[in-house]
């Protein structure tokens, strides 16, 4: 099923450019992708800040789980935006293998 916006919202000729609704949808996708990228950065920074002398191993496992959940959500958001290849994200954010191993794992 396709969605056709009301004629009052159409600014441009549909064959020559984007209409208002398409622009708003693209803008929201980009914004949510950026927010999710910031969540990944924060989760990975917290994991990197972990120190064995000051924190427990259980705390580290919690941080790894939180980082893997954030990365998983980011991968899903990228796929929604049409970005299928995650190798560049893994490299850009320097996502550790222990986080990648838990991406998509459902914990109880």
Cα–Cα distance list, 9 to 19, 44, 58 (Å): 7, 42, 53
Distances (CA, A) of 106 to 47, 50, 103: 19, 23, 9
Q: How many angstroms separate the CA atoms of 4 and 14, rounded?
A: 11
Using one digit for the tens of pLDDT, what is the confidence trace for 24-42? 888 888 899 999 999 999 9
pTM tops 0.85, yes or no: no
Neighbours of 74 (CB within 10 A): 24
Q: Residue 92, CB half-sphere, CA atoms under 13 Å: how many?
A: 10
What pLDDT, on a 0 to 100 scale, did the predictor assign at position 94?
A: 95
Residue length of the chain: 108
Rounded to 5°, the CA angle 60-55-36 comes to 40
Q: For residues 43 and 52, which has the higher predicted lDDT (pLDDT)?
A: 43
Residue 7 has pLDDT above 70, yes or no: no
Give the pLDDT mean for 68-83: 92
Q: Model confidence at 84, in pLDDT bands (50, 70, 90)?
A: confident
Among left, alpha and beta (phi > 0; psi -120 to 50; other), residue 2 is beta
């Amino acid at each position: 099923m396709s969605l056709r916006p009301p004629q009052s919202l159409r600014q441009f000729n549909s064959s020559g450019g984007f209409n208002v609704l398409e622009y708003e949808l693209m803008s929201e996708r980009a914004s949510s992708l950026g927010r999710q990228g910031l969540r990944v950065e924060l989760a990975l920074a917290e994991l990197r800040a972990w120190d064995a002398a000051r924190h427990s191993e259980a705390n580290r496992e919690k941080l790894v789980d939180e980082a893997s959940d954030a990365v998983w959500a980011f991968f899903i958001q990228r796929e929604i935006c049409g970005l299928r290849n995650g190798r560049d994200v893994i490299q850009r954010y320097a996502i550790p293998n222990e986080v990648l191993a838990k991406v998509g794992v459902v914990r109880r």
